[in-house]
Structure 1
Amino acid sequence: MAHPQTIQIFLPDGDPQGIRIASITTRIVQLIEIPRLRLADFLAMSEAGHVGLYLLFGEDDETGHAKAYIGQTGNLGARLKQHHDGKDFWNRALVALSLTHSLTVTHAHYLEWLAISRAAQAARCKLENSTTGTRPHTPAAMEAECREIFETIDILLTTLGHPVFEALVKREEDNRRVGRPAATTPPPSDADFFLRNERADARGRYTEAGFIVLAGSWGRAQAVPSFVGTSPYRKRQAMIEAGDLAINEERLVFLRDVHFNSPSAASDMVSGRATNGWTEWKDATGKTLSDVTGRVVPTRSATVT
């Protein structure tokens, strides 16, 4: 259950785009964000010799999709140096360690397994790890400690803008926390919005992260001519190639929850044309997203079909 917390972010060199050290003031776990360009600075820090969990973040050059690699090590600096020499995709590393040197390699192995499992389940990004691995044997007391440590890491990662363990849409939250499989499709919610016509039947949610079109939604398979070749159209094709969307007869089917920065980008994808998402998406009573949120937006020209 969420509750108020105080998080401290320290900038060692005063640059908010440089190394950032985040911690919850009442806990011993610390998270350090390291731009690849500043790796040498981290290697000179005493924390580089710690046992810890690390995450590498970057993007796919072709699709722009987020990518990540998760690992653990007995020496953070040495392992990041290896990945600097051997992996191209990443541009930021985040390492989690103990201020009291209390993390052991056993802790790290369990945290690595848990982190990979949760990241794979959340599906926020493509994992570069070849497998989720086997759950390591860990004494019950240590497992409980690791799960508490993991919660802190999750909060700090999200605070720094990397919510890799947070699903786009919450599904059976209690089940997910204890490791049981979540439902494929979330239950209906008062926060759901719909885009329904003869060429679409899509459901989505407007969240802090943007607009999410839910798995199982479908829209127009063939885009209108004026939409072909645009940036949204190219994204559409890339998502089909990546397996996020599929063409099934005359429908464009969403195979997983898909995040968009704006409601209009989401309705464009569903409709295969330029749209105004603030008026296209409607709740169960027929109110537009614009009406529900109280946001007055200028009219966006839509392509005539």
Structure 2
Amino acid sequence: MNAHPQTIQIFLPSGDPQGIRTASITTRIVQVVEIPRLRLDEFLERPEANSVGIYILFGENDETERPRAYIGQTGNFGNRLKQHNEKKGLWWNRVVVAFSLTQSLTVTHAHYLEWLALSRATQAQRFEMDNGTAGTRPHTLPALEAECREVFETIDILLTTLGYPIFEPLIRNRSLIVTSQVTEVFSASGEQIPPSEFYCRTSGVDGRAQYTEEGLVVLAGSYGRAEVSSSFLRHNYAQKRQTMLDQGLLRIEGDRICFTRDTLFKSPSPAAVALLGRAANGWTEWKDSTGRTLEEAMGRSARANECEA
């Protein structure tokens, strides 16, 4: 996603922020509509239900608790979504549709956008995809492909704005978080930014992570102790680790527990706990290459975060 200032308009047709929401960039013709499954009949009465475009079902895997999604394309949202409502199971609870306000998208556009969206979502690994495979890239003329990629960029921005960053990788090129205490790293605009990579290392533990706008992302290949302490068992840490094992984010290899893919933690302490197998304050356990703690790099008080795990 190319970051630059933009104006996004979000409209609530019923006035309910939990109901149907429409989002658009004011200078572009692409619009997305987010529809709760319980409000599907309401959407079917709207004119955009007859549009061509792509749609994404959002929900959760009941067994693993991982966010789940299904990406599809259609020449008529209304007909397709009615079929999903009847046959696609109970796991999804919201759907987002994307279409052209000028009705300029064709089924050929939709096929390419579906393939591109599924490919990007699979690469990002934020959601468990109900589609299975990404399918085969459809043959598309260069001009139409360029048009689709521009449309996709708008869809990506709008989905992320609505809270569905399905196409955004957990790790970007660099963190954009600014702190006045770090002077050795600079962004392209000259802003000071903290180092993004931190380490949790001790006997039997080798964790690598990047601090991002969303939290701490522990990188695939990081490993920690499979054996845990009594303090670990007294809290809900054991259940959290078991959930991660069930989700496939972790696997046990002998006396180690290993991260199988990049994993986001909203705060640093649960990430340290998962690796160390004991209660821990992540703000002091995670350190940069110079030995400075995450607390020091971010200018935060560790005392206020000791219990956040």
* TM-score > 0.5, shorter chain as reference: yes
The 2-side partners of 1:50 and 1:229 are apart by 54
1:182 matched residue in structure 2: none
- SS of corresponding position for 2:169: coil
Give yes or no for contact 1:215–1:257 (8 Å, CA) kept in 2.
Answer: yes
Query: C-alpha separation between the residues in 1 aligned to 2:308 and 2:11?
Result: 47
For 1:50, the aligned partner's letter is S
1:182-261 residue pairs with structure 2 within 5 A?
Answer: 190-228=195-233, 230-261=235-266
d(CA) in 1 for partners of 2:144, 2:258: 43
CA distance in 2, matches of 1:112, 1:158: 17
In 1, the alpha carbon distance for the partners of 2:118 and 2:211 equals 27
Structure 2 unaligned runs (5+)?
Answer: 175-193
- Structure 1 vs Structure 2 CA RMSD: 1.9
The structure 2 residue matched to 1:142, chosen from 140, 144, 150, is 144
The answer to whether the Cα contact below 8 Å between 1:246 and 1:255 also exists between their aligned partners in 2 is yes
CA deviation string 1:81-102 (max 9, x = no partner): 1111112111110000000000
Q: Is the 8 A contact 1:206 1:212 kept in 2?
A: yes
In structure 2, distance between residues paired with 1:98 and 1:115: 16
CA distance in 1, matches of 2:164, 2:232: 32
Tell me the equivalent position of 2:278. 273
The superposition leaves residues 216-264 of structure 1 with CA deviations (integer Å, 9 ceiling, x where unpaired) of 1111111223323743322212322332211112111111101112101
Q: Percent identity?
A: 60
Q: Tell me, in whole angstroms, the C-alpha distance in 1 between the residues paired with 2:268 and 2:308.
A: 14
After superposition, the Cα gap between the structure-2 partners of 1:171 and 1:297, relative to the gap in structure 1 and judged at 3 Å, is closer
- State the number of aligned residues: 287
Looking at structure 1, the residues matched to 55 and 258 of structure 2 have their Cα atoms a distance apart, in angstroms, of: 35
- TM-score where L is the length of structure 2: 0.89
Is the contact made by 2:115 and 2:135 (CA closer than 8 Å) also made in structure 1? yes
Query: What CA distance in whole angstroms lies between the structure 1 residues aligned with 2:281 and 2:6?
Result: 38
TM-score by length of 1: 0.90
**Counterpart contact for 1:274–1:302, Cα < 8 Å:** no
Following superposition, the deviation at residue 301 of structure 1 comes to 6.5
List gaps (5 residues or longer) in structure 1.
Answer: 173-188
Which runs of structure 1 show a deviation greater than 6 angstroms over 4 or more consecutive aligned residues? Answer: none
Structure 1 equivalent of residue 179 of structure 2: none
Task: Give the counterpart letter for 2:15 in structure 1.
Answer: G
Task: Decide whether the 8 Å contact of 1:275 with 1:302 is kept in 2.
Answer: no
Within 2, Cα distance between the matches of 1:2 and 1:95? 23
1:4: which partner in 2? 5
* Residue of structure 1 in register with 2:22 after alignment: 21
Q: Partners of 2:308 and 2:236 in 1: how far apart?
A: 16
Kept after mapping to 2: 8 A contact 1:221/1:251: yes
C-alpha distance in 1, partners of 2:15/2:147? 33
SS in 2 for 1:131: coil
- Secondary structure of the 1:298 match is helix
Shift of 1:302: 11
1:144-203 Cα shifts (integer Å, max 9, x gaps):
00000000000000000000000001269xxxxxxxxxxxxxxxx931011011121101
User: Tell me, what secondary structure is at the counterpart of 1:68?
Assistant: strand
Q: CA contact under 8 A between 2:225 and 2:277: conserved in structure 1?
A: yes
Partner Cα separation in structure 2 for residue 229 and residue 258 of structure 1: 24
Which residue in the other structure is 1:48 paired with?
49
